[in-house]
Structure 1
């Protein structure tokens, strides 16, 4: 007698009923059960069932034209919006079609920080909501916008966030309906259904999603997508990530629907089967302003290394911050500055874009709930995150615009816990011609979109609360470096070749303070060749 049924996708998915709450794993393409997602939608197209599904996820089971993004696009092409009635997704940035569903009020759309989401799956397995300080004073706070991405969500409130007080302190309580079905993914299952993840880029939240779905009341059904099925007992006990008795159906998927990331089908360096001695990725040799920003962040980390007196643990966000990992590798700092990505990798070189969440040759990978416990508890030394808008007080909007709803991602959870935050991004946005020439910044044409604004569209980092928590906060751009103070932003550095009034102050909607000791950014940041930061770091550590 078998514990789990190894079958085809249609037989397994036919057990999902109309109006089910379906939990789906996925940090973009990593751990996304794309084959099950596509086959579930195909089943609906043929039979009209299951319909009215509510999707919850740890991050985003989609990438551009993959997974749920492809499903949402097909819904538009076919003019049928009955398959999904709503979703709670912490991140929509890699899915333009899911964003469109939300913007046009086609489905209920809710969003939480990734940290809240991954902790919620564990809490829901205990029958509890999540109670946390993450999100206080931001757009997630019900005194501001709350977790609702559109009017349909605001009206129906299937998921909710509430302000509560415990012993005189404010907290937010997040909750959503318990999943009664789950689609997860692993690498291999044995005949007993035991699931291993040896060829996956990350562990994600696969186990916690399973736990939440199987919990009382009304234990749900779990379907797992795998690449291979092997004999019973052939997976080492400690290699089992999800025990077979927690899984109802195993479905083998074609490789085309089981890629490690959006653009990587399989790379042994990503899953840790091979750890090369030299993991520095090929550099394009181009000295541009984005590299200058990443270098300046790295210099700040080296300075912090000298203050702390021991190797650092840092988090790097998407965009320019993820480039910091390449600079750390280029400068030979990998054994002194340990980078982490919110999806779970430690070390290695973090990838960007649709591949964000995956790292080349990490030295460790841990489950996402554990990664965010480390972040929110402040067990890291610093984080570097991107920004879209900065306000006069130092409040930050990382990515929201009226026509763009990417979700908060891990941003609110990370800034809540990190003791030092180095925001990193271009000073302006839009079409621009900004070059590095002869060790100077040359602004041929500046971006026409101002990023330092009087009022950010949405606040995801509350500067006042950050200061109260004793955080050190810098805003690092290619032409200026600001520090957060109780009086607002303080301009401390400017780039060589830049006129402070013309190129900085006139491109801001508010006037920052000017430091009495304002100085030029280090000219070496704007020159070709290594900066020699390893030698600097080792000298600091010996002092």
Structure 2
């Protein structure tokens, strides 16, 4: 059995116009099957439905297919990230690309189900949000669930560290992400490998994807090393450490101080997920703590972010930041990562937010300015019942309050928020309302209440933050 194909052009030659193509990869620069994507662009195959986490950015990502007007429909967890314009967003807004938003955990589970011969499944992810609109919902043991159908695809394009002629695959570090589930859900799976090795060179216990799920193997012609330009694009997804925002003519807390206060809320011995954007800064203050960090792309036990010169390109968190793997770390795919989250094994989740309201509802994936949006794994993360801390500025850039009586943006989760940390306050969500527990130095509780749309319960004594 020999599944090796001589060129990427030959490997993708029979992908027909109108095909549904799943392309694995994570973040902006990480582990795209770039040789195959470039070959598909050069073939000019049109009217594609692309299934992915996001289209990424730059000349090595599926972004180039949208740029070349080859994508008519996008099924993804992101069409954009707030503050980052994208070709996909432009085409969605112009009616040139259809868009179906699917939370990351639901996306990988739909592909996995297709490969397992399971037609549909019930999930708590998306209950009470626009993702559930038009879908069957059902109570099981008193808990509401949404019915999601399997998502079979025509072709999956994935990248691996090693593959052999039998199609056995080994991934590197935290780079499995969507690849195993995408391969299982496809009628035809094409693997681009950095190294093609003889059959038997990958020990059986090191095979991450058995050859039965793989149809073709081609050697990668594009290196996996991250360039400064690629990492600069990735870092633009992250919230910069900026100067403190001013309220009533005085500065609130800087983002670093907000992250420090949030880090102090974490319990020793807990498993914690940090959302993209500002929450990633919390990781900078956990060096001496007994906290284990979890990321949706498939790593448990990662450490501090590192510079490009010191980095392993296959060690990164869900925000695409290059990190270290601590002693005792483990790697897995996104299916397992979301089993940990939805199954209640993650203790605390820290997410950014556009809005939080008095009922503890969270909105953090779309604004009226977005044609699509970017939910990522947030809906899955809040569905598991973990403690949820929302880290965000007290007001948006227009000065509008973000802690509201009722969210006006599409919801990420219903009644899921436990604590809100802003640059002005620490607020706890309770059955009786929002309790103001701490205020930023230099501000009074009354001033914070005046800058908050939702009513606050103000104790007799409210200490300073940090």
* Fold-level similarity (TM above 0.5): yes
Q: Which position in structure 1 is the counterpart of 2:458?
A: 514
Which of the residues 413, 418, 422 maps onto 1:477? 422
- What is the SS of the residue equivalent to 1:67? coil
> Structure 1 420/262 Cα, relative in aligned 2: closer, same or farther at 3 Å?
farther
- Residue 457 in structure 1 maps to residue 447 in structure 2: no
Pairwise CA distance, 1:168? 6.5
What is the 5 A alignment of 1:499-510? 499-502=444-447, 504-510=448-454
Contact 1:293 1:320 in 2 (8 A): no
Please state how far the C-alpha of 1:256 moved relative to its aligned partner: 4.3
Q: How does 1:71-470 map to 2 (within 5 A)?
A: 71-75=65-69, 83-94=70-81, 96-127=86-117, 128-142=119-133, 161-166=135-140, 170-175=144-149, 177-198=151-172, 200-213=173-186, 220-256=187-223, 259=226, 263=230, 289-301=254-266, 304-305=267-268, 311-329=269-287, 332-333=288-289, 336-349=290-303, 356=320, 358-362=322-326, 363-404=329-370, 405-430=372-397, 448-454=399-405, 455-463=407-415, 466=416
Please state whether the residue corresponding to 1:11 is helix, strand or coil. helix
The answer to whether the 8 Å contact 1:118/1:369 transfers is yes
1:383-414 Cα deviation digits (max 9, x unpaired): 11111112232211113112223321111111
Q: 2: distance between equivalents of 1:169 and 1:227? A: 45
Q: Please state whether the residue corresponding to 2:427 is helix, strand or coil.
A: strand
Question: 1:529 is matched with which residue?
Answer: none
**Aligned equivalents of 1:169, 1:474: Cα separation in 2:** 23
Q: Is the 8 A contact 2:295 2:317 kept in 1?
A: no
- CA 1:453 to 1:353, structure 2 compared with 1: closer, same or farther past 3 Å? farther
Deviation (angstroms), 1:291: 1.0
| Aligned twin of 2:63 | 69
What stretches of structure 2 of length at least 5 have no aligned partner? 233-240, 245-252, 306-315
Given that residues 24 and 159 in structure 2 are in contact (C-alpha distance below 8 angstroms), is that contact kept between their aligned partners in structure 1?
yes
Decide whether the 8 Å contact of 1:7 with 1:249 is kept in 2.
no
How high is the TM-score relative to the length of structure 2?
0.85
CA deviation vs aligned residue, 1:152-177 (integer Å, no higher than 9, x gap):
xxxxxxxxx43245577532112264
- In the alignment, the residues of structure 1 paired with residue 231 and residue 168 of structure 2 have an alpha-carbon distance, to the nearest angstrom, of 26
Query: What whole-Å deviation, never above 9, does each CA across 1:318-345 have from its counterpart, x for those lacking one?
Result: 112111111102xx22xx1111111111
| Rounded Cα–Cα distance in structure 2 between residues aligned with 1:286 and 1:394 | 28
Note if contact 1:35-1:258 (Cα within 8 Å) is conserved in structure 2: no
Between structures 1 and 2, the one with greater helix share: 1
Q: Deviations over 1:165-203 (max 9, x none)?
A: 5577532112264101110110122233322113x5421
Determine the C-alpha separation between the residues in 1 that align with 2:116 and 2:331: 25
> Which residue number corresponds to residue 308 of structure 1?
none
1:496 aligns with 2:461: no
Alpha-carbon distance change, 130 to 55 in structure 1, aligned in 2, over 3 angstroms = farther
* CA shift in 2, pair 1:7/1:98, >3 Å: same
Contact persistence 2:445–2:458 (CA under 8 A): no
Contact kept in structure 2, 1:481 and 1:494, CA below 8 Å: yes
Alpha-carbon RMSD across the aligned residues, in angstroms, is 2.8
Tell me the equivalent position of 1:217: none
Q: TM-score, normalised by structure 1?
A: 0.73
SS at match of 1:137: coil
Give yes or no for contact 1:391–1:456 (8 Å, CA) kept in 2: no
User: Are residues 1:40 and 2:20 paired?
Assistant: no
Looking at structure 2, the residues matched to 125 and 19 of structure 1 have their Cα atoms a distance apart, in angstroms, of: 21
1:474 and 1:481 in contact (8 A); partners too: yes
Q: Secondary structure at the match of 1:115?
A: helix
Give yes or no for contact 1:131–1:174 (8 Å, CA) kept in 2.
yes
- 1:481 is displaced (CA, Å) by 0.7
Using a 3 Å threshold, how does the CA distance of structure 1 residues 353 and 452 change in structure 2: closer, same or farther?
A: farther
Task: Report deviation, 1:286.
Answer: 9.2
Give SS of 2:257's match: helix
Name structure 1 gaps, 5 residues minimum. 45-49, 76-82, 147-160, 214-219, 266-283, 306-310, 431-446, 467-471, 526-543
Work out whether residues 4 and 244 of structure 1, in 8 Å CA contact, stay in contact via their aligned partners in 2. Answer: no
